[in-house]
């Protein structure tokens, strides 16, 4: 078995070489060498993208979006396959579609990183990739654990392991079956690439520190290869949020012990798009002043399947009464809301007057909170646990607040008050819990 390790001296020379040095170096090459030079990973890779030295079993690359995790995994597989004709490599993703579209055919996938003269043959019907020297890779879905029972491999690349569906423990079963099949060659190895999420499988791997090498990194580490508009957009949307620390900075955000919502729970509830809604409600948590908390404005709906969805977060911060009321009216109009549910503890008549001024025909219901925020949140959190609520997209600030709720009336999330989370609770309570318990109807 040929071991693949980065040439640290070559990396150091390339990193310090000037454009003139590199040009002179390439000029001295033959035609074939010059053609291959542009495909040499050493010329582009950062040290953090290169497989570590030493005797390791698992290399866990846990970094922010856009770090270059997929490229690192694909280049490692390419190096293994080109060096070892007997290599049998498992490519495991959350689904077969993602294994093909990201790991194989993606912009940083295997077919893209291999030079034309050494490019493997992809056989979709067999879910197999074959290199000219005989090395092979097979595609698997982590959603089908039994498919990994039996086949033998010498290496494996597992992509986005934090995204693997763990309903009934199937992510763990897929991982275990993969490990049990790694019995070819002298030194089987696994590379796992993922955005960090505090899900059970990731925690398990981090606890196995003896033969696990962990590489961490952030989106900004790869800023030279990312569009400036992308950096600006994601920082504007997620900077300062816990989700931003996770998705951009590559930080593993631990859940608060006993929290009503966890990151893993919210990930299990996420979906790309919502079906048609039969009823839509806008939940509103008005601010006490124009200079303090945000005005939480959350749009939720329920479909024919009886499942509620969080559809939009249109909350505004440091807004005057006229501005936040207009934001509520705009959200109600944009989503054809059947009702606006607004908390009225901070002056019910004022809240109604401000909202009516923005839209006289707004379908408004004012509710009075007779219990604390956490007490109101607990039955809604139970709906999430039961799979009756989904998030149609990412809602960074809302989700940060939800994960700050603890039983017993304690809030330990960002900000002084969970304005977005409270608005979400009002909307979902109206949709799913009706007039039972909180909220108590004060007046229409």
For the CA atoms of the chain, what is the radius of gyration? Answer: 26
pTM of the model: 0.66
Calculate mean pLDDT across residues 344-367.
79
Percentage above 70 pLDDT, the chain: 85
Question: Buried b vs exposed e over 298-333: b needs ≥16 C-beta within 10 Å?
Answer: bbbbbeeeebbbbbbbbbbeebebeebbbbbbebbe
| HSE value, Cβ hemisphere, 13 Å, CA-based, for 58 | 23
Q: Which two tokens stand for residue 182?
A: 């790694």
User: Does pLDDT of 390 surpass 60?
Assistant: yes
| pLDDT at position 423 | 95
Q: Give pLDDT tens digits for 124-170.
A: 999 999 999 999 999 999 999 999 998 999 999 999 998 898 877 88
- Characterize the bridge pairing of strands 339-343 and 364-368: parallel
| pLDDT at position 200 | 84
Higher pLDDT, 18 or 403: 403
* Closest to 334 in 3D by CA, of 387, 277, 414: 277
User: 233: which residues sit within 8 A by CB, 6+ positions away?
Assistant: none
> Could you identify the residue written with the tokens 């290399």?
59
DSSP structure class, residue 152: -
Calculate mean pLDDT across residues 339-352.
78
The C-alpha angle 231, 237, 240, rounded to 5 degrees, equals: 95
User: 70: which residues sit within 8 A by CB, 6+ positions away?
Assistant: 102, 103, 106, 108, 109, 159, 193
* Closest to 375 in 3D by CA, of 409, 411, 398: 409
Enumerate domains of the chain plus CATH numbers: 8-228 (3.40.50.300), 263-443 (3.30.420.240)
Q: Give pLDDT tens digits for 82-100.
A: 999 999 999 999 999 999 9
Centroid of chain to Cα 309: 18
Distances from the Cα of 268 to the Cα of 162, 199, 262, 265, 298, angstroms: 11, 10, 10, 5, 20
């Amino acid at each position: 078995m040929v071991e693949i390790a980065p040439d640290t001296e070559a990396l150091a020379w390339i990193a310090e070489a000037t454009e003139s040095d590199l040009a002179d170096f390439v000029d001295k090459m033959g035609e074939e060498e010059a053609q291959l030079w542009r495909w040499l990973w050493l010329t582009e890779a950062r040290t953090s993208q290169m497989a570590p030295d030493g005797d390791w079993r698992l290399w866990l690359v846990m970094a922010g979006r856009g770090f270059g995790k997929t490229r690192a995994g694909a280049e490692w597989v390419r190096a293994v396959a080109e060096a070892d004709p007997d290599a049998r490599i498992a490519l495991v993703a959350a689904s077969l579609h993602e294994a093909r579209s990201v790991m194989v055919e993606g912009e940083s996938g295997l077919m893209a990183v291999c030079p034309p003269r050494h490019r493997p043959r992809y056989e979709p019907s067999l879910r197999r990739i074959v290199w000219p020297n005989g090395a092979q890779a097979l595609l698997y879905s982590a959603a089908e654990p039994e498919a990994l029972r039996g086949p033998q491999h010498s290496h494996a690349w597992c992509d986005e392991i934090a995204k693997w569906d763990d309903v009934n423990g199937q992510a763990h079963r897929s991982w275990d079956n993969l490990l049990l099949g790694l019995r070819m060659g002298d030194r089987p190895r696994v590379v796992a690439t993922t955005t960090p999420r505090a899900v059970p499988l990731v925690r398990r791997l981090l606890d196995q520190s003896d033969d696990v090498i962990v590489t961490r990194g952030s989106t900004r580490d790869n800023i030279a290869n990312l569009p400036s508009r992308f950096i600006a957009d994601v920082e504007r949307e997620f900077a300062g949020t816990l989700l931003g620390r996770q998705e951009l900075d590559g930080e593993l955000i631990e859940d608060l012990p006993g929290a009503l919502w966890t990151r893993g729970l919210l990930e299990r509830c996420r979906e790309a798009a919502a079906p048609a809604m039969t009823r839509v409600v806008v939940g509103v948590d008005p601010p006490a002043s124009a200079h303090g908390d945000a005005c939480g404005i959350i749009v939720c709906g329920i479909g024919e399947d009886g499942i509620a969805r969080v559809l939009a977060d249109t909350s505004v911060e440091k807004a005057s009464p006229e501005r936040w009321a207009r934001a509520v009216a705009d959200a109600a109009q944009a989503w054809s809301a059947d009702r606006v549910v607004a908390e009225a503890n901070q002056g019910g008549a004022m809240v109604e007057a401000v909202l009516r001024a923005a839209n006289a025909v707004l379908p408004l219901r004012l509710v009075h909170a007779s219990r604390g925020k956490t007490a109101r949140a607990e039955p809604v959190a139970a709906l999430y646990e039961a799979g009756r609520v989904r998030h149609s997209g990412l809602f960074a600030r809302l989700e940060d607040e939800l994960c700050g709720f603890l039983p017993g009336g304690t809030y330990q999330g960002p900000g002084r008050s969970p304005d977005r989370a409270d608005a979400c609770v009002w909307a979902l309570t109206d949709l799913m819990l009706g007039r039972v318990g909180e909220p108590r109807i004060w007046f229409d």
